[in-house]
Structure 1
Amino acid sequence: MISREQSLQFADEWVAAWNAHDLDAVLEHYTEDFEMSSPFILQMGISPDGRLKGKENVRNYWEKALVKYPDLHFELHEILSCMNTVIIYYTSVNGKKAAEFFVFDEDGKVFQAMGHYN
């Protein structure tokens, strides 16, 4: 189970790492074989089903995303948590509202993440 304090710390570190464009720091929070889904994966033509698995595959996608959005900056609005999940609600690229849903393993690492956007 992830505590409220742990979820707040995770969200602060995650947003700070993204705002610094530091993919190593972002990826420290994930398992090696984590799975992620996002409509941006589909829009960028990275995967036909909008899903990726594994740090290296996701890193390659995120590197391309940072090239496409060089001014990427997230503004954190809310953090919701329950048991082993956290939802971070924030302003994403181009002013889009985003809710990122994370599922944590027993070691406190994310093994599944899903991005939701307006």
Structure 2
Amino acid sequence: MTKALQHEHIARQWFAAFNTHALEQLLALYDEEAQHYSPKLKQRQPETEGLIKGKAALRAWWQDAFERLPGLHYEVTSLTANEDRVFMEYIRQVPGEEDMRIAEVLEVSDGGIIASRVYHG
């Protein structure tokens, strides 16, 4: 299997874990020192300037999101993978909120996500 196909597989695992709110499965895809940037993070926790680092911070962020938004779901519209990253496009769906188009890049090294960046469209 090529690296691009491995990275696409990681992205599919990511969506499966996220959409079932399987926090530990989601975190298992990440490197211990992974970084995550998100405009939503910047909005909710301005002191972070949108950037968190490490699995403990990722766990706290997603656990809060899953608890606040039990109906949170991502509908995949496109995955494009290469040797070191996956570009994902999806629709963020939350009951009672307008759907939001999202793009996210997962940087992958040695089989784990080392960085992710979210962009809202």
Q: Considering the TM-score relative to the shorter chain, is it more than 0.5?
A: yes
Percent of aligned pairs with the same amino acid: 27
Q: Alignment partner of 1:18: what SS?
A: helix
Aligned to 1:104: 108
For residues 22-101 of structure 1, what are the structure 2 equivalents within 5 Å? 22-45=22-45, 47-94=47-94, 95-101=99-105
Distance 1:112 1:11 in 2: 13
Gaps of 5+ in 1: none
Per the TM alignment, residue 52 of structure 1 is displaced from its structure 2 partner at its CA by 0.2
Structure 2: how far apart are the matches of 1:72 and 1:46? 22
| Cα separation, 2, equivalents of 1:46 and 1:10 | 30
Instruction: For 1:38 and 1:18, locate their aligned partners in 2 and report how far apart those are by CA, in whole Å.
Output: 16
Following the alignment from structure 2 to structure 1, what is the Cα–Cα distance between the partners of residues 107 and 112?
8
3-state SS in 2 of match to 1:12: helix
Cα shift readout 1:49-107 (whole Å, capped 9, x = no counterpart) = 100000001110111111221101111111112220111111113411111101111x1
Offset of residue 40 of structure 1? 0.9
Once residues 104 and 47 of structure 1 are traced to their aligned partners in structure 2, the CA distance between those partners, rounded to angstroms, is: 27
What's the TM-score, normalizing by structure 2?
A: 0.88
Matched residue count:
116
SS in structure 2 of the partner of residue 24 of structure 1: helix
Task: Pick the structure with more strand per residue.
Answer: 2
CA distance in 2: counterparts of 1:13 and 1:34, whole angstroms: 17
Contact 1:23–1:59 at 8 Å: present in 2 too?
yes
Structure 1 length as normaliser, TM-score?
0.90
